[in-house]
Amino acid sequence: MEYHELWVREITKKASAITDTFRKKKNELSNVEINWITPDKDIRVDRVAAVDGGMGIYEAYGTAIYLVRATAVILDKKVNFIRKLEMGVVEPYNYVNERVRWARDALEFKCAIDAMKKSNIILLDGSISGYLNVPKMESFCSELEEYFKWLIKMLELAKKRKIFLIGVSKDTKTDFLLKNSDRYIEGMTDATAIDILIGDSIGMTPSMKVESVQAKKVLKEDYLKEFSLVYSSYMRLSKGARIIRVDMPEWIHDKDEDLFAILREISSNGYPAPLHIAHNDATIPKELMAKTSRLLRNLCITNDPEIMKMMKEKRRRFF
């Protein structure tokens, strides 16, 4: 029997049982209530900035060389860019992905700080509470030190200037709404529950405080204590669009309906267009990392021909 026939037969056989599983999950939501509102506000956005980053890793024997870059897109009467790029070596060779990600994020924080000179609305790709969570590390490292250094500077400046610092997560897996209900359902996310209970309507949940793990277990002092309060809201910015999670710091949590109006104003297909532009600009193409590895080999061979043996390609990863 061909695999296609096996595939059709298996799907046909299991479809009913899978449907029953979905139906059971849906029925478990029958007593869950979602406070879903649609603010009637219009806010004209004259200037907004969005920040995102990209990273690439080139691995040779026992060494990981990385390239990270970050973009701040500033939308005014025209589109302006702030761009930063850095290269480094992960040494010693451990926690490679995490350390390169922290290096990328630190660069994003630097871009956000520069963008605050031009806009009081800053969009970040990701969860603010996630930035504040303590990474699991056996020991401190230079990348993590830089990460916290620039995260703290960004938060301090944003608080001082009352910046609308907004974290946007398009693939949210959180379930804090369901956990606070009497009908918590294992494995179901808040976004899925909202889709089932609310349908495809435009709207948002009022912001609520989300517990954020502080960094005092990693840092000698609790530098992040004053920023530990983070508020989150789930939003759908256009009919039928994906639910996004929007994080905001404590100093603007009472402006959640304003944030909804701002994001609707600048969104396309339910997602903030400036963040989409920033993502496309900051992503590191495979071709760029390939050119980087070739140029590095040529430069290193000039200094030491034996380096060529170490720099034969083993594996590449792009994000």
Q: Decide if 291 is inside a domain.
A: no
Query: What residue ranges of the chain have pLDDT lower than 50?
Result: 216, 313-316, 318-319
265 inside domain = yes
Number of domains within the chain: 1
pLDDT at site 14: 92
Position 102 scores a pLDDT of: 94
For residue 108, being part of any structural domain is answered with yes
Contact between 117 and 126 under an 8 Å Cβ cutoff? The reply is: no
pLDDT value of position 311: 55
Provide the Cα torsion 128, 210, 179, 213; round to 10°.
Answer: 80
Which of 141, 56, 133, 73 lies closest to 108 in space, CA to CA? 73
Return the pLDDT at 319. Answer: 45
C-beta separation of 90 from 66 below 8 A? yes
Written in H, E and C, the secondary structure of the chain is CCHHHHHHHHHHHHHHHHHHHHHHHHHHCCCCCCCCECCCCCCCCCCEEEEEEEEEEEEECCEEEEEEEEEEEEECCCEEEEEEEEEEEECCCCCHHHHHHHHHHHHHHHHHHHHCCCCCEEEEECCHHHHHCCCCCCCCCHHHHHHHHHHHHHHHHHHHHCCEEEEEECCCCCCHHHHCCCCCCCCCCHHHHHHHHHCCCCEECCCEEECCCCHHHCCCCCCCHHHCCEEEEEEECCCCCCCEEEEEEHHHHHHHHHHHHHHHHCEECCEEHHHHHHHHHHCCCHHHHHHHHHHHHHHHHHHCCCHHHHCCCCEEEEC
Specify if 97 maps to a domain.
yes
For residue 262, the model assigns a pLDDT of 95
CA dihedral 17, 22, 27, 33 (to 10 degrees): 170
Q: What angle separates helix 96-115 from helix 142-161, to the nearest 10 degrees? A: 30
CA distances from 200 to 22, 197, 236 (A): 18, 9, 8
Q: Is residue 34 part of a domain?
A: no
Q: Which domain holds residue 93?
A: 48-170+187-286
* 120 vs 112: CA distance, rounded Å: 11
Q: What is the CA radius of gyration of the chain?
A: 23
In a domain, 40, yes or no: no
The pLDDT value recorded for residue 59 is 80
Beta bridge partners of 317: 57
Residue 176 lies in a domain: no
13 found inside a domain: no
pLDDT value, residue 29: 85
- Report pLDDT for 167: 96
Which domain CATH number covers 136?
3.30.2170
pLDDT at 137: 60
Q: Do 64 and 100 form a contact (C-beta atoms < 8 A)?
A: yes
